[in-house]
Structure 1
């Protein structure tokens, strides 16, 4: 599991933030919550990381990284970013702190990297200062580069302070690539934190398979989190028209896209089957699609009745979806109307739930138990 950093200062700062406006209350099945606007003015924010000093580091799909101060004000866009293709669903995507961030100020971010034949998802490691990033190193670049506005994946998860998981999409028009192992489309990647390939990766001894591949048969993964008890990677991915999925994402397993899906072509028409021997069934799926984005296990007692729930954002319906679990099965689902497209979902060090809204004037919202 990830190394724990002392967040006492951060928790206090978040609780006392003075930028909160327009507080409302929401009646949920377990608790009455307040929803507050912590910050605004972000252009399609995509990923969020909490810094130990009380600030937040936020990506904007429009090609920017910003710091959000404890009063909700925004820094100027940080300088020093690499060349980025902002096109369709591509731009600057997720962000996660290095386990030793408190001492080295390093963090990872995913982005759409230009290349000779198009672009692809890449991941950079960089050092953070108040105005810029520096010492940038590209630790991963997906191949092949391809001209497409769609399905970049891009979620980042660090496991055991040693491994970096990177989720990737099928790039839309290259859906069949998700079933072949000589490319990165529709895959989950596992690397060491320096970008090197772990010697215990499942395919390192197979010359026909890329060494960094962990799992395959994915469409477009935009939510990923580690299970708090098992430490395993859980992901969710967009289906086509219907068929959004949650999966426990294990080494060498084939999650079926596009051979199996509970969705259909846009406008109608079957895609493959719903089940096939040797292909993994989803742990949970949605028909119709909710367009899931962002995912987090809720581990605090701060919101009564929510501990151990799995939280998923919905772009399509403007909801936060709360899932109660019985092992690897969903025993209950609650839909909480937020009214804006939810791009990311994070539990804060103060026990509140923080949401990024996907819009031109994007916001950071905070959900907490009403007083």
Structure 2
């Protein structure tokens, strides 16, 4: 069971140095997720890959690969780009207006399971509400593209339709989460919904803040969702008690995992199970920024405990399970980007347990991690001038 003073170490890494607390500052509304300093932590004593800078963006946030090897990249201010692996960028038109500021703006982008036939993509972003409130939304749209190398009209979105909204909209500009992933069979869309720095909504079943929700691809409610027959709960809820979900992925066994930022320390990697409550803000491996203590998970066994908890913080962003051939020794491993930790973190899954085994120091805040068609790892740096990085085996 994780404890507050736990520091995850690797058998392959040198000892961790003593460090100051980092974190995703929420005392100042709208601050970045991890505004506090992060002291130097030793990475593993090797660099088993080469890192190539491909291109750069203004505050990139998410990316996904198309079947032809090109990729879509979102930027937080509200742009969507078609990008070649050589770094050529083409802006896509008809992007919805976004409420940009703090942690909000244009968010995730993923392909529909039948993209090759339908041309449909899914986008998440932040929209403004009444009286200074805001909330994330998810929509699907058709993406018109010409094949690589064929001159045509500029790519554009059409038939944009919002299928989900954060409920309720609240004031502030933090913890939208709005990460998305489809189940391996393509039948269900999972959306991470942050608790918007409001704490208690993560346990309130009448709203979807601090939850992972499960929908059909058209936004309707699956007939076997766990709280469908609970009159006091939203039927879209799949799991609850989450804080700020910034990565979701399915492993090779078809199990859903998420990572989320803790308060002051206590970042989590969770095995997400149907109807489970992960305890926030009642329990956490971290504490509040005002110094108020939060009980550990082991004090309340009715709540699902994280499989890995990071103290001090790594400030996680992005999550994948690797399945490529370029790094065969990494197949089945999870990779997480680190913001405050400025790292790429490798986690080994053993049954229902998980352990960080390597931490590669990248020298920049890593916002997103994806696997390319040939098995290369692709990373997005955070912030203005954030670079697209390609990672391949060392020669």
TM-score of the aligned structures, taking structure 2 as reference length: 0.83
Matched, 1:97 2:97: no
Q: Secondary structure at the match of 1:103?
A: helix
Pick the aligned partner of 2:80 from 65, 88, 91. Answer: 65
Matched, 1:80 2:94: yes
Deviations 1:90-123 (A, max 9, x none): 1111111011111211100111122224111110
Retained in 2: the 8 A contact 1:31–1:369? no
Q: Secondary structure at the match of 2:201?
A: helix
Structure with higher RCO (Cα < 8 A, 6+ apart): 2
Tell me how far apart the structure 1 counterparts of residues 318 and 73 of structure 2 sit (CA, whole Å): 14
Tell me how far apart the structure 1 counterparts of residues 219 and 346 of structure 2 sit (CA, whole Å): 34
Tell me how far apart the structure 1 counterparts of residues 205 and 363 of structure 2 sit (CA, whole Å): 40
Q: Specify every segment of 5 or more residues in structure 2 that has no aligned partner in the other structure, as ranges.
A: 1-42, 145-153
What is the aligned residue count?
341
Q: Which moved more, 1:270-279 or 1:217-226?
A: 270-279
Tell me how far apart the structure 2 counterparts of residues 53 and 335 of structure 1 sit (CA, whole Å): 31
Deviations 1:153-192 (A, max 9, x none): 11100012110000011101x2101011000110000000
Q: Secondary structure at the match of 2:90?
A: coil
Retained in 2: the 8 A contact 1:110–1:122? yes
Deviation at 1:70? 3.7
Report the equivalent of 1:53.
68
Tell me how far apart the structure 1 counterparts of residues 80 and 356 of structure 2 sit (CA, whole Å): 36
Alignment of 1:20-31 (within 5 A): none
Pick the aligned partner of 1:108 from 96, 116, 122. Answer: 122
Alignment of 1:207-246 (within 5 A): 207-229=231-253, 231-246=254-269
Retained in 2: the 8 A contact 1:30–1:304? no
Q: Provide closer, same or farther for how the CA distance between residues 332 and 216 of structure 1 changes in structure 2, counting only shifts above 3 A.
A: closer
Retained in 2: the 8 A contact 1:258–1:272? no
Deviation at 1:272? 3.9
Deviation at 1:31? 6.6
TM-score of the aligned structures, taking structure 1 as reference length: 0.89
Report the equivalent of 1:258.
281
Which aligned segments of 4 or more residues in structure 1 are displaced greater than 2 angstroms? Answer: 27-32, 271-275
Report the equivalent of 1:281.
305
Report the equivalent of 1:186.
210
Retained in 2: the 8 A contact 1:243–1:289? yes
Q: Secondary structure at the match of 1:197?
A: coil
Deviation at 1:304? 4.3
Deviation at 1:331? 4.1
